[in-house]
Structure formats: structure tokens, C-alpha cells
Structure 1
Amino acid sequence: MAVANYIHDLLYRYECVILPGFGAFITQQHSAGIRQSTQEFYPPKKTVSFNRQLVKNDGLLANYIMEAENVSYDAAIEQINYFVHELELVLEKNRTVNFENVGSFTLNEGEKLQFEPATQTNFLKEAFGLGSFKRSSVSREVYKQQAEELEEKAPVAFTPERRSGRWLKYAAVSLLAIGLSGAAGFNVYTDQVSEHNIAEQQKAVSKLESQIQQATFVIDNPLPAVTLKVSKQTGDFHIVAGAFREAENAAKAVEELKEQGFKARQIGENRFGLHQVLSSSHESRRDAINELYRVKKTNPGAWLLVEKL
């Protein structure tokens, strides 16, 4: 199942990998956390789910196969179609099929496809090598018993139960007296510092006003006012409207998209030498996916690119 291995590889780099004619694998990132029931810490991770509705070919998987196996684009598409055909036959016969390190598919009694992700796989590259661990419990009674045993040998009381209330009372009175005398001295010192700062501030203001009155400002040739209109696209989630072999076709596509109201732009050539055209960029993944669904109604070939440009 070479195609399944290619899907596994792409899930580490992209948030959506479409298997044309079958569905899409979508990843979602989760923060590190702790399970209170088991006191287990687990690292950040990226899990995978499956969407049966996204079946249109976006070129990502085909281009990856084309590069990995050094074959033509048509040959890569043919390999994908054959894989999907065999996959459906296996499902119909065995009712289940497994994608190693990705997940497994099952046909239920209602002939609906169900996907169960592989729980042992973390597709977040930044968390590679990190595993979960449990916090060991602390027995306070054991430490208390050890402290009491030490007190039998030492003249100093460690535990609250065996402290002398009389000595604590005298210590509290002494600390209170020291604190009051220290607070009084500190207040006197603070008042002196405040008076000094106010006096110095008044001197500085007077000096500055005198310099301003003596200064003369002359502008012989003032520059005319300039108004700039800047439209900046931000975010790491981009809607790719198309990729073109010729730069002129990419420029023409940008102009047409702008006429339709999109903030379109080019981002240069990809590794296949194609000029990529973006229709929009977004700060959040959810906004980008919503926009992608809207764009696909008129441009089925649009797809989501997750990359910091």
C-alpha cells in the first residue's frame, strides 16, 4: 500500500491530504495537558480525522507520488485511481481495511464508512520523541513520620504539633516591634525621596520651557502630504486558486481574481516550477477552511496551503 505510506508522510507536513475519489485526511493540533484521573502528562500532538465529502483532486498527493517515484503526473493519477479501486473492493469483501500508522476504515451495517485513527501516531513534528509520563504520588504521612523521628534525636521541633506556643508568642511580639520601627523609618525615607523628585522635576520642566521659547523652527520646502493605501494579507493559511506553468497566465489569473473582489497575489514558483496564485490568506485554520468551501463552489481545484510566507 505505497499510496497509504505517501499519505502518512504528507500528514506530517500538511493539514489536509485528499485521496481523490475517496475522501480527505484532516489533522488537528492539541496542546499538552494532564489527565486528572490518571495523573498522566502528555505532550502536544496532532491527530487525524477523515472527511468523506472532500474527494476532488487538489494535486498534492499526485505531485508527491510523481516526485517520489519519478513518474509522470498522469501515471501518478492512474496509480491513485487503481489504489482507490482496490481499496473499495477490500472494504466490500472484508468490511475493514487498515492504513498503517494512520488509522483503519470499517463498513458498518448501514454501509456507512467509519474511520478510527491510530492513537499511537503523533503527526506533530515539533513533538517528535516526546512521550507521556505519570506523576508519582506523594505520601505526606511518610514524611511526617520521618520528621517526628528526627525530632526525637534533635532539640529542634519540626512538626507544627510539637512547637511550643510560648516561644511562638514571644517571637511574634518581637517581629511586630521590629516591623513597626522599620515601617516608620521607611515612611520618613519615602517622604524625603518624593520631595526631592518633585523638586528636580520642576527644575527640568522650567529648563525645557525656556529652551522651547528660545528655539526657532523654519521649514523652507515642506514636502507634500502623501496618502498610502496598503492592503496586506497576513496569516499562515492560504487558499491556492491555481498553479500555472507560464508566468503570464498566473498574472492574468491574479487580475481576474482581483476583479471578482479577492485580494489575490502570486507567491512565486513551487518545487515543480509552477507559479502559484493565492486568492486569500487567513490567520486561523477555521476561517481558511470556511473560505475554501466557498471558493470550491466556483473553483473545484482550489486547495489549502499551510505555510509561513
Structure 2
Amino acid sequence: MVLERYISDLLYRYNCVVVPGFGGFLSQYKSAVHNTQDHSFSPPSKSLSFNKQLSSNDGLLVSYMAEVENRSYEEMLQQVMGTVEAWKRTLDQGGRLSLEHIGDLKSNKEGRILFQPSYQLNHLTSSFGLSSFVSTPIAREVMKKEIVALEEKVPLVFTPERRKETNLRSYLKYAAVILLALSTGLTGYRFYNETLSQQQIVVEQAQEKVAKSIQEATFFDTSPLELPTLNLKVVSKKPTVGIHHIVAGAFRYKANADKKIRLLKRRGFDAGYLGTNNHGLHMVTYSSYSDVDEALQNLRTIKNTQSQDAWLLSIR
């Protein structure tokens, strides 16, 4: 019997799991973390801690183990107490107690138990599938100082001597530019007039073709068309049987789900295995129904006589 596995299973649903005669493991919500040193991001999680003072048996751990193992409460309590005695001997001898997916415990010189939580498993179900990752930092370049330094080193392009130069060659350049612009404008104006005339001719020809087509389309056959007869065959679909399931629980290990099915069948239920949900947990049902009213009536009976945790899953 691996006691820490049952503790880990209960930490998914509860914030406190007490080991009788040993202490309580507590979980608290922890927001996402951004480490600015290594640029890593961690998703939201549950931070674990240990309190030696919470050693009174609240029945949660032992009842859960008895249900999974299909044994009596007293038998499972004795096994838990035997495991606790072995844990205490390990700590009293100065050894380190390592609990899988929970953390490590060690006793110091003053007799206090030091707890180092494990970060291998995230017990927060809403963060299922999320893992830590490292993002490459963005390098931002600051160019202001470099631009100022560059402007101080750029020489002036025009000197006073160059600005005073005026000769006949400069005037001839300006005159050539003006003549070129005038000749280009006259040629463009002539080309524009010729293009406009051609466009008017094309528009008139198109209008004549449209008018002729309208006259020809005036005479057409107004007799109704005979459409073929289309026969449709309607097939009624029968409702699917067994779409309303009364769920007894979801288990992390398939072996525990099989034990639950055998237990329910011995109690007279038509129990079955429904498959795994989005969290990878194996789902077990009391029974399945095609009538929703019948399913709800049996759900109320099961809640009153078997378990308040039963619920209805409808699949369409």
C-alpha cells in the first residue's frame, strides 16, 4: 500500500488531507509566476505545506482508501497507523522521508519536521496540461544617443563660397527644364483629346448594341415549363439508447475504476466503464438510461441511499 498516492489523489479535490497520528498536508492557490532572472513562466498551481499539529483523524483519507481498496474502515485504519509508525521511525533516526509527488520531510535538532514540497506534479485541476516554459527576452535598441553623436559629426554640405556661385550655365539648365515641361504638356493635351474622342465612339457603339438586344428580347415564349416530380422518402431516426449516465466517480488509475465497478455490481447496479474525461480520469457509472425522467428519479434515489457525490451526465 502506497499511502502517498492516496494523499496526492485527494489533494486534487481538497485543500487539507490529514494523515491520522502524523500531520496534515495543506494546499493553497498560487498565481502564475514570471521569473525575471531566467525569463521563465510558471502556470497557476497549488503550493503544498505540512502542519504537524493537524493529526486528528477526520476520516477523509481512511474512508477514501477503504472505498478504493474495497476493504473495511477498521482494516484500512490499522494499515495507515502501521505506515505512520514506519514514517516516524525514519524521521526519529535522522533519515529523510520522500513522498512521491508531495515532497520530502526531515526532522531537525529541535525535533521539528521540515517539509520541502515537490514541484513535479501540479495539483490544480484548472491548470491541467500547462507546463513551465522559458521565453527569449526581447532586445530593445536605444538609438537616441547614437543619433545625437552622429549629427555632431556630419559636415555641412553647402559652404558660403558654393552658395555665391552664379553663372550662365545654371540659367541655361533652368531654361532647358522649362522648355521640356512646355513641350510635354502640349503633347499630353493632344493625346488626351484623341483618347476622349475614341472613348465617346466606343460608348455610342455599345449603346446601339444594347438597344438592339432589348428589341430582340421583346419576343419570348411565355408558356410555363413542366418541372419533373420529385419524391422524397422521410426516414425517422430512433433515439439513441443509454444517453443519460449516472456517474459514480472518476479515478486516476484504471485498476481503482475496475474495483469500483465490481463493488457496484455486487450492490445490484448495472455499473459500467464510461471512458476517460478531459483530465485523464477513468469514469464509472451506476447505470445508463434513455429516458431522462427515469434517470433523474434513479439519481435522487442513489443520492439518498448511496452517495451524495453522484451526478448525471447526458450525451447527445
TM-score range, shorter chain: 0.3 to 0.5
- TM-score normalized by the length of structure 2: 0.44
Higher-Rg structure is 2
